[in-house]
Amino acid sequence: MTVSWSRFVRQFSTTAGRMAPPATVPSKIRNIGIIAHIDAGKTTTTERILYYAGITSRIGNVDQGDTVTDYLPQERARGITIQSAAITVPWNKHRINLIDTPGHADFSFEVIRSLKVLDGAVTILDAVAGVEAQTEKVWNQSKTIPKLFFVNKMDREGAGFSRTVKEIVSKLGTRVLLCNVPYFHELPNRDRKFAGVLDIVDKKLLEWSEGDKITVKELEGETLEEVARCRESLVETLGEIDEEVVDCFLETEDYMEVPADLLRRAIRKSTLENFAVPVFCGASFRNIGVQPLMDAVNYYLPSPLERQPEVNSAVELKEKGYVINNNDKLAVALAFKVITDPIRGVMVFIRVYSGRLQSNSTIYVNGEQVRIGKLLVMHANVPEEVSEIQAGNIGVIVSDKLKTGDTILFHTQKKKLSNKDLSVVANPIVVPPPVFSISLEPKTSGDKRSMDDALSILLREDPSLKVTIDEESGQTLLSGMGELHLEIARDRLKDLKAKIELGKVMVSYKETILSKKTATRESADGAKITVSMQPNPTDMRLLPKRKTYVDLSDNNFFMVDYEPKTWEKVLPYQTIVNALISGSISSIQRGPVMKFPLNSVLIGIESIEIPDDMNSAAPLIPLIRQAFFDILRDESAFNVMEPVMNVTVEVSPEDMGSVIQDLTSARKGVISSIDEETNGEDLAQFRDISESQYLPYDPTLEFLKMRDNFNGNQAINAIVPLKEMIGYLPKLRALTQGRATFHMEFKGMQQVTSDRLQEIMQEEYSY
């Protein structure tokens, strides 16, 4: 029997901006991100979500440049997402705060800061390309976040649902739960057309036709057999984590008789515990499969009540949400993104972890009071003004006093916060170090102010960009994550009316300290301070707990490793800490070897003595600066670092020898693995699982001579200095007659050898 399924028809018939208000009960909120490799269909999927939720009255198109979430001129011109966009979407009595993130490696910081405030995520994969490099990177960055998979582009020639799922298991190292699988019509010429999905949980066939019509059909014949096989695999997997599923199956010994509601509860449990990941499929461009995916977001991804805030203080879950410091009147929020709107001014995106943040109130940021005005909820670039933002939600503060990474504190009844409450800090958003630099100069001396103003706006919006000014030459350098990143920054500066001349792109070198050093300075008025500088541990979890940590960028951190009980008798704790930070920042700007900025350094305050009559923290700033400069005088204690990249080259067997020779000799690279070794021993068990996992037959590949690796190519994985990868693409094309492709991503900063240091010293490079 064929019926119309009304809950999958577009929910709202009103035009954008007039939809019913979404639920604000914490259990009905979902903070999710859409993450994937570039061109997997993130923005296309988001546009369908907006349409079916009633936010928009028409569907935006990436190719036509009229999407809601990609609204920057550079995004619409290039057809890619550059900055994350936040949208609030109502869906089936839930409020979904959705963030569409970039897929290009140069904009990975946008993903990093978005992941900081998400409770769950949807990972979109291209069914033709499978698991791609950026997918693996973002997957690893979001390991602890519950996720769903959406295998997109099932309508494309060469799409392989089961092949892609097999790659998910073997490459990403996770188990999967097939919640729906593709359904194909057989055409008169025996080709197959993707037409819908088989719902494994509810045992139905969902079929899409032209327009918004979706029908539900009962299973019969081949579709019934396919769902039965998939249900068997689903029940068996869920039985490993949920005894209720096992007990229910044993009553009838029929996989088809296990109730859908029980399966949904078990799938949710499995998802929240990161035991396995639900998998869905569709073709967003053809409007197929998006509605079941959104239902799954409500069913399976966590609410804010199920994800504990990452803060340095005691957290307790109560009926209305998390309470921090045992104070239910205290609101704690994290600023994770800043944009500058030509009409509204500086807009700061925040995630509220506890309490209620109210408009037209006074908040605390870094121990200082800040007056704020309007609060907004954003629907991409369309704001909705609200009186308050409650715990679990994402919103916007209009203020030029905040920056990315700031912890925001507010008390609903008190204007002044206790020292205990002022010490609450959300875990920092770590900014990856920039690896490319470009010189900037104003076209005329009169253009310098407009350039500086534009740079100030740019750095506020994107902390992964960095500006350095050489004290000797006066040259201004803008550093970023890649050549495209700097290209977009250049376009943004032009949008901001900055008249500039650009130099050539250069690699960003750094310096670091080799071992822990300390120094002590004492002032004439009796203030005494002992500081330390040491290599920053790779794992920040090794640092002492409940201390004050501040991210100074470039993987440099400031730490007060001293109990400040006597400080508060003289000056407020945060006032002193702010002064110490101000004095410390200058010490990381220039190393002693080649004047490059410091990287991966942990700056510590070992001890401090403050005279009882000190009424200002200002004298501490030059004192701490002098102490750190004492450490920096020892050039032998430091070394230069250079950025190295993880490089993957997809190459045919006949070209492998010449490519490896070029990577290891001309480019000073080290081969880490070839082809099947890519995943490492730790993923061996998942390769076995991928072979034993039941997966439907891929009819779309029936007439295509395709293998797991495209044309039998093999993947060469190498670690190569970034300097040697500049201009690599033309060389690779020449070596392989255009048959090979490559991808690279930042691995980290690596200390150089003495021979390499001499090479760098001979380069035309200045800071």
3-state secondary structure of 458: helix
Contact 274, 250 (CB under 8 A): no
**Confidence (pLDDT) at 81:** 40
Is position 350 within any domain? yes
Length of the chain: 767
Instruction: Give me the CATH number covering residue 707.
Output: 3.30.70.240
Query: Helix 260-272 crosses helix 221-238 at what angle (to 10 degrees)?
Result: 50
**Confidence (pLDDT) at 634:** 94
Q: How many CB atoms lie within 10 A of CB 502?
A: 14
**Confidence (pLDDT) at 644:** 92
Are 233 and 359 members of one domain?
A: no
Closest CA to 460 of 514, 505, 401, 413: 401
Per the annotation, does 100 bind a ligand? Answer: yes
**Confidence (pLDDT) at 107:** 65
Q: At which of 581, 609, 633 does a domain end?
A: 633
Per the annotation, does 641 bind a ligand? Answer: no
Are 352 and 388 members of one domain?
A: yes
Structure tokens at 529: 């301070």
Q: What is the pTM of this model?
A: 0.76
3-state secondary structure of 200: coil
Q: Is 602 left (phi over 0), alpha (psi -120 to 50) or beta?
A: beta
Distance, CA of 533 to CA of 470 (rounded, Å): 23
Give the DSSP per-residue string, 97-161.
EEEE---SGGGHHHHHHHHTT-SEEEEEEETTTBS-HHHHHHHHHTTTS-EEEEEE-TTSTT--H
Cβ-based burial of 680 (10 A; exposed 0-12, middle 13-18, buried ≥19)? exposed
Is position 9 within any domain? no
Are 88 and 134 members of one domain?
A: yes
Are 410 and 485 members of one domain?
A: no
Structure tokens at 24: 């604000």
Is position 309 within any domain? no
Per the annotation, does 462 bind a ligand? Answer: no
Instruction: Give me the CATH number covering residue 330.
Output: 2.40.30.10
**Confidence (pLDDT) at 11:** 42
Say how far residue 277 (Cα) sits from the centre of its chain: 19
Contact 605, 580 (CB under 8 A): yes
Q: At which of 592, 614, 633 does a domain end?
A: 633
Domain count for the chain = 5
**Confidence (pLDDT) at 428:** 78
Q: At which of 582, 610, 633 does a domain end?
A: 633
Beta-bridge partner residues of 605: 531, 560
**Confidence (pLDDT) at 745:** 81
CA distances (Å), origin 263, targets 185, 442, 534, 610, 749: 28, 63, 52, 63, 47
Is position 402 within any domain? yes
Q: How many CB atoms lie within 10 A of CB 593?
A: 18
**Confidence (pLDDT) at 60:** 54
Per the annotation, does 38 bind a ligand? Answer: yes
**Confidence (pLDDT) at 310:** 85
Amino acid sitting at position 559:
M
Are 242 and 361 members of one domain?
A: no
Contact 757, 699 (CB under 8 A): no
Range(s) of the domain holding residue 325: 317-423
Contact 279, 182 (CB under 8 A): no
Are 546 and 654 members of one domain?
A: no
Per the annotation, does 470 bind a ligand? Answer: no
Are 533 and 493 members of one domain?
A: no
Beta-bridge partner residues of 641: 510, 751
Per the annotation, does 102 bind a ligand? Answer: yes
Per the annotation, does 42 bind a ligand? Answer: yes
**Confidence (pLDDT) at 213:** 83
Per the annotation, does 152 bind a ligand? Answer: yes
Contact 372, 332 (CB under 8 A): no
Per the annotation, does 93 bind a ligand? Answer: no
Is position 448 within any domain? yes
Instruction: Give me the CATH number covering residue 172.
Output: 3.40.50.300
Instruction: Give me the CATH number covering residue 492.
Output: 3.30.70.870
Is position 21 within any domain? no
Per the annotation, does 360 bind a ligand? Answer: no
**Confidence (pLDDT) at 262:** 97
Instruction: Give me the CATH number covering residue 580.
Output: 3.30.230.10
Per the annotation, does 185 bind a ligand? Answer: no
Are 573 and 648 members of one domain?
A: no
Q: How far apart are the first and last CA of the chain?
A: 73
**Confidence (pLDDT) at 630:** 95
pLDDT in tens, 312-325: 887 888 777 888 88
Q: How many CB atoms lie within 10 A of CB 3?
A: 9
Residues 6 or more apart from 85 whose CB is under 8 A from it? 68, 69, 70, 71, 99, 100, 380, 381
Contact 515, 535 (CB under 8 A): yes
Contact 638, 517 (CB under 8 A): no
Quick one: DSSP state of residue 366? T
Structure tokens at 190: 């025996």
Contact 501, 577 (CB under 8 A): no
Structure tokens at 284: 């967003």
Q: What's the half-sphere exposure (Cβ side, CA atoms, 13 Å) at 340?
A: 18
Residue 38: phi and psi, rounded to 5, are -60, 140
Structure tokens at 161: 């649902």
Longest CA–CA span in the chain (Å) reads: 94
Per the annotation, does 153 bind a ligand? Answer: yes
Q: In the chain, count H helices and then E strands.
A: 18, 38
Beta-bridge partner residues of 639: 512
Are 495 and 537 members of one domain?
A: no
Per the annotation, does 155 bind a ligand? Answer: yes
Are 211 and 359 members of one domain?
A: no
Per the annotation, does 104 bind a ligand? Answer: yes
Per the annotation, does 743 bind a ligand? Answer: no
3-state secondary structure of 246: helix
Per the annotation, does 276 bind a ligand? Answer: no
Is position 430 within any domain? no
Per the annotation, does 555 bind a ligand? Answer: no
Is position 733 within any domain? yes
Are 626 and 650 members of one domain?
A: no
**Confidence (pLDDT) at 80:** 42
Beta-bridge partner residues of 466: 479
What parts of the chain have a pLDDT lower than 70?
A: 1-24, 58, 60-85, 100, 102-107, 190, 211, 379-381, 470-473, 538-548, 561-569, 675-684, 701-713, 764-767
Are 468 and 538 members of one domain?
A: no
